[in-house]
Amino acid sequence: MSSAKVQSEASVMERGDVVSPLTVSGLSAAYQKKPVLRGVTFTVTEGELIGVIGPNGAGKSTMMKAALGLIPRLGGEVLVYGKPYKQQRKLVGYVPQRESVDWDFPTNALDVVMMGRYGHLGLFGRPGAKERAIAMECLAKVGMADFAARQISQLSGGQQQRVFLARALAQDASLYFMDEPFAGVDAATEKAIITLLQELKQQGKTVIVVHHDLATVEEYFDSVLLLNVELVAYGPTKDVFTQELLQHTYGGRLAFLERNSLAKTDNKKG
């Protein structure tokens, strides 16, 4: 555990001249009486896909929300490209969990994607033809162009997730936070999303994803951040996504993990 931490801290010092997309130091947060995040420190490398892994209640979503200033921090600092987050908002895109909004809201898919441009419009600016074109383009990228005029409650779960992703694309950010984009989506959507993530990566963007499915971690992510209230380990997937560290992260839930890793080795054989 500590070896990985030391490694990440060392890399900060080595790369002191290159500005990292995201530097988090000593981030803590609490709900009511219970601390849910304690002293989390890490620095991400530009152009990587990073998976945030941990058991339920480990503070994965909380970490994102605290980093984005959506919930108050108990302490800690978050730097985006070397400056406080508040000055760098336009560089950051956020995909909240699908359940966080009311899908009965009277609006259509295109309109939701256009909301991604609101941050660029200024105080009084109105979305116009240019925003519409960008939004259509983003919808096309996630394969949803045909659904642009569809009321959002009439989309399937996977389609709603793709609309959210298109909205994040419309934000045109350099650093993305995605809260469980793969939760409850169909296989086609999962494939579409991961293709998109690869594309973003090739454009040099950094994407941090809260992820649940351990079986796909090695396939999807360059780096892994193991979290259970405290940071367990952070580093390249092959170094960090190990049986030992996972056991440390998930604590007593060994049986599940062993079965899971067995399944993985089976997959590799097949």
Which CB sits closer to other proteins, 46 or 103?
103
* Closest CB 128 distance from other proteins, rounded Å: 11
Q: Measured from the CB atom, is 65 or 211 closer to other proteins?
A: 65
Of 2-10, 72-80, 137-145, 189-197, which segment contacts other proteins by CB under 8 A?
72-80
Separation in Å, CA 247 to CA 99, 118, 169, 215, 222 = 30, 43, 35, 15, 20
Distance CA 38, CA 227 (A): 10
132 touching other proteins, by CB under 8 A: no
Please, what is the minimum distance in Å from the beta carbon of residue 112 to other proteins? 8
The residue (of 119 and 157) whose beta carbon lies closer to other proteins is 119
CB of 113 within 8 A of CB of 138? yes
Among the listed residues 5, 7, 45, 119, the single contact to other proteins using CB under 8 A: 119
**# chain residues binding other proteins, by CB under 8 A:** 44
- Among positions 78-117, residues that touch other proteins (CB under 8 A) are 86, 89, 92, 94, 96, 100-102, 104-108, 111-112, 115
130 binds other proteins (CB under 8 A): no
Q: Which one, 37 or 226, has the nearer CB to other proteins? A: 37
32 touching other proteins, by CB under 8 A? yes
Q: How many CB atoms lie within 10 A of CB 186?
A: 13
68 touches other proteins by CB under 8 A: yes
For residues 106 and 252, which CB has a smaller minimum distance to other proteins in the complex?
106
Residues that bind other proteins (CB under 8 A): 28, 30, 32-33, 35, 38-39, 65, 68-75, 86, 89, 92, 94, 96, 100-102, 104-108, 111-112, 115, 118-119, 121, 123-127, 151, 153, 167, 171
